Each structure stands twice: as structure tokens, then as C-alpha cells.
Amino acid sequence: MKRPWRTTRRLALSEIGEEHANELHELDSDPRVMRYVGHGRPATRAEIDAVMRRVPRAYGLYPGLGTWRATRRDNGDFVGWFALKYIPRTSVVEVGYRLRHAAWGRGYATEGARSLVEYGFDELGLYRIVGVTHPGNLASQRVLAKVGLADIGWGHFYDRPVRVFEAVRDAAWQPSWESDPAR
Ligand SMILES: CC(C)(COP(=O)(O)OP(=O)(O)OC[C@H]1O[C@@H](n2cnc3c(N)ncnc32)[C@H](O)[C@@H]1OP(=O)(O)O)[C@@H](O)C(=O)NCCC(=O)NCCS
């Protein structure tokens, strides 16, 4: 089996391929999962198909960024996805996640999001990472706060008003390649 792109204590994150369309369709068909996402309703097959064309292509277009499928390391069960990517039509990088209902309440979102925020700052050298949520999505807001993003108020992304959270890199941060004479 292909090695995961990144692992956390309990999760393996891997690239999404066309073979995962049914899994993502199942995820986005659950009204509980979609309550605070997009238009607040399950996605159609056509919408999922569009996502399935976009996500695998984005790994090549935006190296280092992407949307990764998460599975449990102990039994391989599909948990959901995590993303570190540009918000469409902006230069703002967001951390995002969507988990199967059966996986909620076990700290997985916090674990995966924390890993991507650390990766974004430590390995990509990003300056700023945001999280945007529906104002009623308190669980997601709690996750963002737990991984170090602060509530900075209202913003307008995805054509709607959202609650915006952000973390800015430590001012003392130095890229590892600056001290490497070989680079
Ligand atoms: C939001 C979501 C990712 C949370 O996943 P999760 O694995 O259950 O999250 P965690 O267990 O890591 O943490 C959730 C935190 O929110 C808290 N929480 C859960 N429901 C809450 C609610 N209704 N109000 C306030 N806090 C809530 C939990 O108690 C926990 O905080 P704690 O550790 O301090 O107790 C998950 O519910 C999900 O995928 N929802 C559907 C998609 C979605 O909304 N994605 C985010 C879009 S911005």
C-alpha cells in the first residue's frame, strides 16, 4: 500500500484520487455533516464530480497545499478529509476539515488540523493561516481555537458572511534553508 503523505498519532493523511469519489459522496450526502457547509444541504453527485476533478489536479498546481483524505491508522477506516489550501479567488490559505458523523467527538478534527497548521508554518513557511466557519458552527470554531487560531471577527468568503479565525507565524521564525549554505 502507498505510504501516507502525513501521519498524526491516530490518523493517516493521503492524497485523494478518483477511486475515492463514493466515499466523498457518502460524506457529503449526510445532512448532519453539511449543516454548516456551503448552502447547508447535502451535495449533489454533480457537485462531488466537480470536486473530484479539482482536488487531484490541485496537488500539482499548488505544491505543498491540498485536500487529504484521513483514515484511522489502527483499522484503516475512512474518517473524512483535511485541507490546507487557498480560499477560492483569494491568496488566503485556510485550514479546513470535514469528518464523517461516526468520527465526531473523539478529537480527530483537532488532531488533524493541528498537524496541518504546524506543517503550514514549520515546513511551508506560511505567514498566515485562517479558518472560516458558519457563525453557528461552534464545534468547528472550538477546533480552530484549540489549534491556535484566534477569532478575529466577521469576514466575507465563499460569497457569504463567515466567522474568521487566524494564526500568524511567530515573528522569530527562521526558515531552515536560510542557515543551510548548500541552498
Ligand atoms: C466540526 C467537526 C470537524 C468537529 O470534529 P470533531 O472531531 O468532533 O472535533 P474535536 O473532537 O476535535 O473537537 C470538537 C470540540 O468542539 C466542542 N463541541 C462540539 N459540539 C459543540 C457545540 N455544539 N457547541 C460548542 N462546542 C462544541 C467539543 O466539545 C470539542 O471541544 P473540547 O475538546 O474542548 O471539548 C465535525 O463536527 C465535522 O466534520 N462537522 C461537519 C463538517 C464541518 O462543519 N466542517 C467544518 C466547516 S468550517
Does any ligand 1 atom lie closer than 6 A to the CB of residue 83? no
Q: Which residues of 154-168 are buried (b: 16+ CB within 10 A; e: fewer)?
A: ebebbeeebbbbbbe
- 64 pLDDT exceeds 90? yes
Report yes or no on 177 lying in a domain.
no
CATH number at residue 16: 3.40.630.30
Report residue 88 as a C-alpha cell: 477560492
At 1 the pLDDT is: 66
Round the average pLDDT of the chain to a whole number and report it.
94
Which range marks the domain in which residue 104 is found? Answer: 6-171
pTM here is: 0.95
Does any ligand 1 atom lie closer than 6 A to the CB of residue 70? no
SS3 169: coil
- 97 pLDDT exceeds 60? yes
Q: What's the structural domain count of the chain?
A: 1
Q: Cα angle vertex 24, ends 19, 122, to 5°?
A: 90
Query: Roughly how many angstroms between the first and final C-alpha of the chain, as a whole number?
Result: 34
- Compute the average pLDDT of residues 79-104: 97
Residue with the larger pLDDT of the pair 183 and 33? 33
Report yes or no on 11 lying in a domain.
yes
Phi first, then psi, for residue 173 (nearest 5°) are -65, 135
Q: Whose CA is nearest to atom 37 of ligand 1?
A: 104
Q: Whose CA is nearest to atom 34 of ligand 1?
A: 142
